[in-house]
Structures are given as structure tokens and as C-alpha cells.
Chain A
């Protein structure tokens, strides 16, 4: 099944940038990279997704390596509210589309 590799945990300070890495070395040409995050006692929240080019939205930026075997989610200025588990997901299209979650990265933000 679709596999990605993320560090178990990362720590950041408030108002500093955070770079969350993800490896997806077996990605195929039509797979999208999705990022979701889950705050305590809530369902996952969509953050951003991309295919080949870097992407920006109001929440974050997604930098995808040229060979697409890795990507980095960038939170430009971490806040306490960004403390969550971040999931990097390789999403295949078509009738078998589903989100396969790994264990994610637990991000701690220090005040």
C-alpha cells in the first residue's frame, strides 16, 4: 500500500518556521502528496496537497522535491494552535482512491 516515512516527533518554538519532512520514495507519477493534521480530540484537518510543483495556501507551503521522492511541509510561523499530529499521505487517484494514514509526526510548539 502507499507508504510514506515521517519522523515520529518534532519540536519548534512559537513564531519560528517549521519544516516537516516526508519521504515517499516509491511514489508513482500520478500520486498526489497530501498533508493533514489532527489536533487532540478532533478529526483530521486538510492542510495542503500537491503533485509536482510547490504549493502555497493560507495555512502552509508544500515543497516537493524534483524527483518527487520527498516533500516538506512548511509552517511559516508556528503558533501554539499548530501543535498536532501531521500526516503525509500519498494519494492515488481513480476508483481506488483512499487516504492511507501512517503514524505521522507529532509537532510540539513551545511558547
Chain B
């Protein structure tokens, strides 16, 4: 079966611009989470959506937002980009939100802000 698909794979943006990243979860998975990975901070949780509702949010500024559609696909938006937003953004999907369920990650979108 198809895995988690993230588009685009690479992106270069200018400081001050905004960007939208897309994530298509595994068919049947209703939970989608987003993570930011940088060399300095490692993997950090951004937010999680389940059935179109944000269930959990990490400690990121309001410039980072997301949404989930009825087909479980999710988008993440970052407004007013800063140089420090350069990172690998990872999406993960799961059947449900529960500690006993594993997540499947996509390969990520590499965002570079110049």
C-alpha cells in the first residue's frame, strides 16, 4: 500500500514569504501529525489532527498552522518565514491517537529559507 506522501520534497523560500506543505496519509489513517527536524533541536512536535480537528499542539509560534481535510489529507502553513524555519518538516499518520498505535512517517519536505 502507498505510504505517507509529502509534497514538495524540497522548497526554497525567501524570508518574509509564506509556505504551504502537503501531506497525504496512508489510506484509512485518520490521524496526521507534523514534526520539525533541525540539527540543533532535533525532532519537535508541531501539531496533530484527527478527523479534521486539531487534537494537540506543540510549542511553536502562531505563524505555524495546519488543517486537515475530510479525506484526512493535511496541510501545514508557515507565514512570515524566518531563517530559523529552515528545517526538514515531517508528517506522520496513524489509525488513531493512542499510545498503543505506531506512526508511519513520510520522507519529509526540506524547506530552506534564504
Bound-complex Cα distance A102 to B42 (A): 7
Residues in B with CB closer than 8 Å to A46 are: 102-105
Main secondary structure of the interface of B (DSSP, over half): strand
| In contact, B100 and A95 (Cβ under 8 angstroms) | no
Bound-complex Cα distance A51 to B97 (A): 16
Q: How many residues of A contact B (CB 8 A)?
A: 27
Contacts A42-B107, A43-B108, A102-B42 given: A97-B90 contact, CB under 8 Å?
no
Q: Which 7 A-B residue pairings sit nearest by Cβ, starting from the closest?
A: A43-B105, A93-B99, A101-B43, A32-B99, A46-B102, A91-B99, A97-B97
A-B contact pairs, 13 of them (CB 8 A): A42-B107, A42-B108, A43-B4, A44-B90, A46-B104, A49-B100, A91-B99, A98-B56, A99-B33, A99-B35, A99-B43, A99-B92, A99-B103
